[in-house]
Amino acid sequence: MEGGNHLLRRYPDQRMSRADFSRAALPVLKELGLVVLIDPVDSLPEWFPERERKLAMRGGQKPIWMPTRKMPLYIWNDLVSEIQDGNIVWPTIGQKPRKSKKPPTR
């Protein structure tokens, strides 16, 4: 994810995988209504475009996180994360920084 790349460029002494960043980012994106968990076993939402339907079905029978129509193209320009005390923090969300799981350090 581009947001994870930005984060690692700002904190070159930290080590973090894309999976670490995704695990930290998905709850924040869900809270903002920018992603939704789609279960292809259930019926897909009517608002879901054909291209996204194909992508969701390609994953098989497993649920998949998909962007909603509210997701801006360049979300990581507005949704900025930081690393504080070894935690991924989202200061752009609400009043208090939101902490996520610690990424491994080098």
Distance CA 53, CA 88 (A): 32
Token pair for 88: 């991924």
Q: What is the pLDDT averaged over residues 87-103?
A: 60
3 state SS for 65-89? EEECCCCCCCHHHHCCCEEECCEEE
Could you tell me where the beta strands, DSSP code E, fall in the chain?
Answer: 35-38, 64-67, 82-84, 87-90, 98-99
Backbone angles phi, psi at 88, to 5 degrees: -80, 125
The dihedral over CA atoms of 42, 48, 53, 56, expressed in degrees to the nearest 10, equals -60
> Is it the case that residue 100 has pLDDT exceeding 70?
no
Distance CA 45, CA 80 (A): 29
pLDDT category at 105 given cuts 50, 70, 90 is: low
Token pair for 97: 């920084």
pLDDT at 74: 77
pLDDT at 8: 83
> Is it the case that residue 95 has pLDDT exceeding 50?
no
Tell me the per-residue pLDDT of 46-60, one tens digit each, with 9 for 90 and over: 877 888 778 777 767
pLDDT at 89: 82
pLDDT at 93: 64
> For the whole model, what pTM was predicted?
0.68
Domain locations in the chain as residue ranges: 2-99
Strand partners, 89: 82, 99
pLDDT category at 97 given cuts 50, 70, 90 is: very low
pLDDT at 32: 87
